[in-house]
Amino acid sequence: MKRRDEIKKNGRLLFNEQGLETITTRHIAGEMNISQGNLHYHFPNKNELISELYEDFKRGLVERAKYQAGSFGLKEIYQSLQDNFELMYEYRFLFLDREILWRRLPTIKRETQALIIIKSRQLRAAIQKLQEVGLFRTDVDEKQSQSFITMYQLMINSWLSAVYLFHSHEPVAFFSEQAFRAWYPYLTDIGKYDFRSILTRSTDLV
């Protein structure tokens, strides 16, 4: 592993474990048994390291989106949740220390806000696709649909802060399943059958 990648890995782990505000480049250098000057050769300051870790996270999202492209249904939604929650957990400091992150790097705040808008549009498109194939109820009105999208986004963007309150054992599996279950009340009978079939492979029936 290249030194630059080692710094990013150790920085990410320390930020995750002890928090963005607590950890300095000196702490990261000490953890790696290298000089702070050596670290600063690759990342002149902590903000540059954080920015690159954020870019790595975004690349991970794009790679997962490419992998998931193609067929679409409830199975793909569940797989997407599992994959994305795993990535979010690997970079959980970006979410747990969000306010600190945004104060340090306002551009990330703007990018996050833009990403939420994009995700909301994608959710709306997903609902329409599921309706077209008879899996999502067509009697759900616009207000209900928007409420579901909003609550779903809130869940996806805040689950990490609830890990130690509700379920610290295998959090990715637990919370991705909870997010998937949010779809259930809106599904048709056929959709609910598919839903139960998907969860039966790894958990109890609804």
Which pLDDT tens digit goes with each residue over 66-108?
755 567 899 999 999 999 999 999 999 999 999 999 999 999 9
Q: What is the pLDDT of residue 1?
A: 78
With a cut of 70, say whether residue 206 has pLDDT above it.
no
Q: Please report which confidence band the pLDDT of residue 65 belongs to, taking 50, 70 and 90 as the band edges.
A: confident
For residue 86, give the 3-state DSSP assignment.
helix
C-alpha 160/C-alpha 119 separation (Å) is: 18
For residue 187, give the 3-state DSSP assignment.
strand
Q: Are 120 and 149 in contact (CB under 8 A)?
A: yes
C-alpha 203/C-alpha 129 separation (Å) is: 26
For residue 23, give the 3-state DSSP assignment.
coil
Q: Are 51 and 128 in contact (CB under 8 A)?
A: no
Fold of 57-200: Tetracycline Repressor; domain 2 (1.10.357)
The residues, ordered by sequence, that sit 6+ positions from 151 with a Cβ below 8 Å of its Cβ are 182
Mean pLDDT within 119-148: 95
Q: Please report which confidence band the pLDDT of residue 58 belongs to, taking 50, 70 and 90 as the band edges.
A: very high
With a cut of 50, say whether residue 194 has pLDDT above it.
yes
Mean pLDDT within 103-128: 94
DSSP secondary structure letters along 120-168: HHHHHHHHHHHHHTT-B-S---HHHHHHHHHHHHHHHHHGGGGHHHH--
Q: What is the pLDDT of residue 24?
A: 98
DSSP state of 169: S
Mean pLDDT within 108-137: 94
Whole-Å CA distances, 101 to 8, 19, 43, 45? 16, 11, 17, 14
Average pLDDT over the chain, rounded to an integer: 93
User: How much helix, strand and coil, in percent to the nearest 5, is found in the chain?
Assistant: 80, 0, 20
For residue 114, give the 3-state DSSP assignment.
helix
Q: What is the pLDDT of residue 52?
A: 98
Q: What is the pLDDT of residue 70?
A: 60
Tally of helices (H runs) and strands (E runs) in the chain:
12, 0
Fold of 1-44: Arc Repressor Mutant, subunit A (1.10.10)
Output 145 or 1, whichever has higher pLDDT.
Answer: 145
pTM of the full structure: 0.91
DSSP state of 11: H
Q: What is the CA radius of gyration of the chain?
A: 20
* Extents of the domains making up the chain: 1-44, 57-200
Q: What is the pLDDT of residue 166?
A: 82
Q: Are 170 and 89 in contact (CB under 8 A)?
A: no
Burial of 202 (0-12, 13-18, 19+ CB in 10 A): exposed
With a cut of 80, say whether residue 202 has pLDDT above it.
no
Q: Please report which confidence band the pLDDT of residue 168 belongs to, taking 50, 70 and 90 as the band edges.
A: confident
